[in-house]
Structures are given as C-alpha cells and as structure tokens.
A and B are shown apart, each in its own frame.
Chain A
Amino acid sequence: MNPKLTRRRFIKGVIASGAAATTTAAWYSATGQERPSGFVERLVRINVNGQVRNVDVEPQETLASTLRYKLGLTGTKLGCNRGECGACTVLVNDVPTYACSVLTHSFKNDRIETVEGLESANGDLHPVQQAFVEELAPQCGYCTPGQIMSAVGLLRENANPTRDEARHALAGNICRCGSYDSYLDGVMRAVELIG
C-alpha cells in the first residue's frame, strides 16, 4: 500500500470529521482547525545526562535518533535498530531501555542517561567503566556502551548481584565478539570497586 495515499485519505477523513492532526502547530493556525487534545508538540525539553535540552523532535522519532543525530551523543550505538541487539541501551529513570525502540516523546518527563553521562565531573570513570577497562572487557567495543548501561542499571537496583543475576541483567545485550564472560567479570569487579 502506498503510505502517502493512506495518509492523504486519512487527513481528508479527519478534517471532515473535525479532528484534525498534523505535525506542525503552524498548520492549525493556517487552517483554523481546533487542535485535538493529546496531540504532541514538536519542541520538547528532555533531560539527558542531567542537562535539560530543548530539541525539535518529530512525533515518530526514536530516542536513539534524537540522541545520535540531534544531540550528537554517538556513544549510543545502532546495531540493529529493531530491539534485537542491545547496542542502543540507555537508562530511563535508571531502567535499561533500547533507545532504538522507544519514542523520544514518551520520555519528556524522565531522566535519560547515556554512556557519555557516566563519568564524574572531574573526569573519573564510573566504577563499571573502570572495571571494564581493568578486565579488558571490550573487544571491538561496539556493544560496550550498551553492556555498560545494562550493568549500571543492574547495580543501581541491586548493589550486590550474583554472577547469575548479572548474566540475566546483561542478557539483552548481544556481543558478536563473544566477550560475554569478560563483561561479567567486569560487572563483578565493579561490585568490588564500589565496595
């Protein structure tokens, strides 16, 4: 089916029924239509790594696109863009989330953290980062930011996980280099570093 046709048919349909929708506020003022409630504004404020950022976000935009292409936070990787690899894992209110498979608009009131936000103000690595360095956990490194975010999410929730709990917490992060055991070593070392 041609998406454009559907769209045109739809827009025509809703205009007729009095519930118009479009992506820009300007359209409403231009047509004099009343905006239906619940419709999203494009200009949003999102809290990323402790900073509130104003961004123009399209309604369908994924969080990964906003982070990578609008905010330049390219530490968040795209391995599949489909929820099947974990390279894009970020924390939303401390909860590991696939940034490729959520909408930025869903998180306007939430705390988003990426790998770039983990170092302390004086440049010290986060204990998980430090532990991953000490264990030389990364190989190619492409999955590493995602593994780190999953590990940080785990440790915030459970400061003293067993190796098996760590394995389950990192289960949603593929490593094609097969560095799984080293990442688990890293998590267990991070537990020690945090003390």
Chain B
Amino acid sequence: MVATSHDVMPDIELYQPADEATALDLASRLGNEGWLLGGGQDTYGWLKDRNKNPSAMIELTQIDAWKGITETVDGIEIGAVTTLTDIARDPLIQSRFGLLAEAAGIVASPQIRNVGTLGGNLIQDTRCWYYRRGLDCYRAGGNICYADSPEGLNREHALFGASRCVAVTPSDTAPALVALDATMVISSTSGQREIPAQDFFVGPDRDILNMTVLNEGEILTAVRIPNTWANAEFYFEKVADRNVWDFALVNVAAAFRTSGENIEDARIVCGAVECVPRRLQDVEAAIRGRSRSDSTANAVADMATAGARPLNYNNFKVPLMQNLVKRAIRG
C-alpha cells in the first residue's frame, strides 16, 4: 500500500473530433475506455487522482452542431456543449427561463462556468469524498458504503432514496431542468432517443454505478425546454458553505403559474438531498389553488421532507430543505 498526492494529468490519449459522426463513432468504438470530455471540470480531478483510468478522452467541444442556444417552434434547444456562462448570460434564456440562467450562473466559480458545459454539469459524478478518494465503495464496484457507516462523515449526503449508496446529485442545473420539464436528446451510432429530464437521472436502487440512463457510446447532444413554463414565476436558491466553488448542501428550483392570487400549477425540485433531483409532487399538488403566502408555505413545510431519513450528520438538511421550499412558495 502506498499513498501519494497526485495532481498531474497522467498519460492518456486525446481525440478532438470535428464533426458529429466522428464523435459518435469514436464513442461507440472506444466504449468505456473512451471518456467523453465537455469542459473537463469534473473529469480532470478524476484523472489527476488516477481514480478513474480511461485510455482516451474524446473532446466534444469542437463540434459546433452541439453548441449554442436556438429557438424552436415550441421552446428552445440548448446544445449540450454550450458553456454555463453562455447559458447564464443568454438573453433568451434570461427572459424566458430565468430559472436556468440563475442556476447555471451559480455553479462553482466564474472560470469553471466559462469552460464547464451544460452536458458535463448534468452528467458529472457525485462528490461523495470516499468515492472520489478512490475507495472501493459500492458505487466503485465494492461492497461497503463508507459514508453510511457508524463513523462515516455524511453531512453532505442524502435524506432520501438511499439504497446501499447515500450519495447525492451535485448539479445545480439539474433541478432547474427537471422543474422546466426539459427533455434530454441522446445520440449514438444507432440513432437518437429523447428522455424527460426527470427520468434521465437514476438512483442507486436502479443503477449504483451510474448517475444517468446514458449507456456506453451514447452522447447527450442537446437539452430541449418546452414553452410550458416560459416566463413563469421562478425561484432558485442554493445554500452552500461558501458562495463560490462549494456544491449545494441543498438547492431548490421552482416554477409557478398563478392566476389572480392562486397557484394554478407548480414545479418544486430540490437538489443535493437524493441521488437524483427530487421533485416534490405532493407539495406541488397541495399548493394548487392556494396563494403564494406564508400560510401556504407553512402548511406544506413538513410535507416537503416527509419520508426523510437523515444520517448521523445531515439532520440539518431537513429544516434547511423545508425553509428553502417555504421561501420558494412564499416568493
């Protein structure tokens, strides 16, 4: 057994396909030995640590077809390799889907947002440090969970949906896209499929090794946002230890349609409380027909965290999540 602190990129091949067909072909041929590369902000840590050891990187950011924001008949389409900065600053997204602009604009730090892509932000792996450290936990194919052990440090871990693994989704944009009823467009050499954002993310009960439904050889090429929630009333808030760099302890993304005083429909989604963005459908149903007020918010606070199973060190997430949901409803 040895330990050394790695921080240098190891030997690895690099492919920079210039068109879609070449990228899809490489992804399919290299399989799990090829690592898809957006902005690399999640990737390089894994590689420098030598805790993931693929043989080649396939850089997707030279492919213009997968970049940019376009208006479609019933909404907008965002190329998967569009940077978070471009999304946060896009006038169309700002005016119509401010929720996503806000979420993208609060990720990590300005420099990371300048290169980090939407695809990478959605597909990034969990930040559980035992796993990141390269320990052989369930998610790494072993048969123990270090975080959910009597001495495990699990302040950042899950309240819901634990199934051997208690890691959470780290993404700030994922809850926003679930709230906006977005659709993921996935391509491979054998064609294209579309998956609702809500079904794109998977918990450990379904697949403990992967955080999304993507199979080997598949590439997320675009995200489509329908006009369903365009110009709705939005609320996004992220609570983290530091305003910059740190991942959410809990975040909330919400959208409301009101008529007069009353909520007609709503989407409320929390991140960092479960392995997948957690949509609070019971709360959404319970606030329909009520006003965006303290009394509505207070009435559903407990419901927001019903079924939560806190671990040794994350009890605080229960009131935190309740407060965020209340603030979202109150507006």
Residues of A within 8 A of B109 (CB): 83, 86, 171-172
Please state if B13 and A59 are interface contacts (CB–CB under 8 Å).
Answer: yes
A39 to B26, CA, bound (A): 10
The reply to whether the CB of B209 lies closer than 8 angstroms to some CB of chain A is: no
A96 with B7: in contact, given A59-B13, A81-B48 (CB under 8 Å)? no
The segment out of B14-22, B94-102, B122-130, B224-232 that lies at the interface is B14-22
User: Which residues in window 23-72 of B have CB below 8 A to A?
Assistant: 23, 26, 29-30, 33, 39-41, 44-45, 47-48, 50, 53-59, 61
Which A residue's beta carbon lies closest to that of B55? A10
Please state if A96 and B110 are interface contacts (CB–CB under 8 Å).
Answer: yes
Please state if B8 and A97 are interface contacts (CB–CB under 8 Å).
Answer: no
Sort chain A's interface into a size bin: 35 or more
Sort chain B's interface into a size bin: 35 or more
A171: contacting residue among B17, B26, B50, B243, CB under 8 A: B243
The segment out of B111-119, B259-267, B289-297 that lies at the interface is B111-119
Please state if B22 and A86 are interface contacts (CB–CB under 8 Å).
Answer: no
Which B residue's beta carbon lies closest to that of A170? B110
Please state if B15 and A62 are interface contacts (CB–CB under 8 Å).
Answer: no
Please state if A17 and B29 are interface contacts (CB–CB under 8 Å).
Answer: yes
The reply to whether the CB of B10 lies closer than 8 angstroms to some CB of chain A is: yes
Please state if A19 and B110 are interface contacts (CB–CB under 8 Å).
Answer: no
The reply to whether the CB of B92 lies closer than 8 angstroms to some CB of chain A is: no
The minimal Cβ–Cβ distance linking B121 to chain A, given in whole angstroms, is 14
Chain A 100-117, CB within 8 Å of chain B: the 1/0 string? 011101100000000000
The minimal Cβ–Cβ distance linking A46 to chain B, given in whole angstroms, is 14
Please state if A3 and B50 are interface contacts (CB–CB under 8 Å).
Answer: yes
Residues of B within 8 A of A168 (CB): 110
Please state if A6 and B53 are interface contacts (CB–CB under 8 Å).
Answer: yes
A22 with B244: in contact, given A82-B7, A82-B48, A171-B109 (CB under 8 Å)? no
Please state if A39 and B40 are interface contacts (CB–CB under 8 Å).
Answer: no
The reply to whether the CB of A192 lies closer than 8 angstroms to some CB of chain B is: no
Please state if A96 and B14 are interface contacts (CB–CB under 8 Å).
Answer: no
Please state if A106 and B59 are interface contacts (CB–CB under 8 Å).
Answer: yes
The reply to whether the CB of B241 lies closer than 8 angstroms to some CB of chain A is: no
Which B residue's beta carbon lies closest to that of A6? B53
Residues of A within 8 A of B7 (CB): 80-82
The reply to whether the CB of A11 lies closer than 8 angstroms to some CB of chain B is: yes
Which residues in A have some Cβ–Cβ distance to B below 8 Å?
Answer: 1, 3, 6-7, 10-11, 13-14, 17, 19, 21-23, 36-40, 58-62, 65, 80-84, 86, 89, 95-98, 101-103, 105-106, 150, 168-169, 171-172
CB<8 Å pairs between A and B, sample of 12 = A19-B30, A38-B17, A39-B16, A59-B12, A59-B57, A89-B111, A95-B114, A101-B41, A105-B59, A106-B59, A172-B108, A172-B110
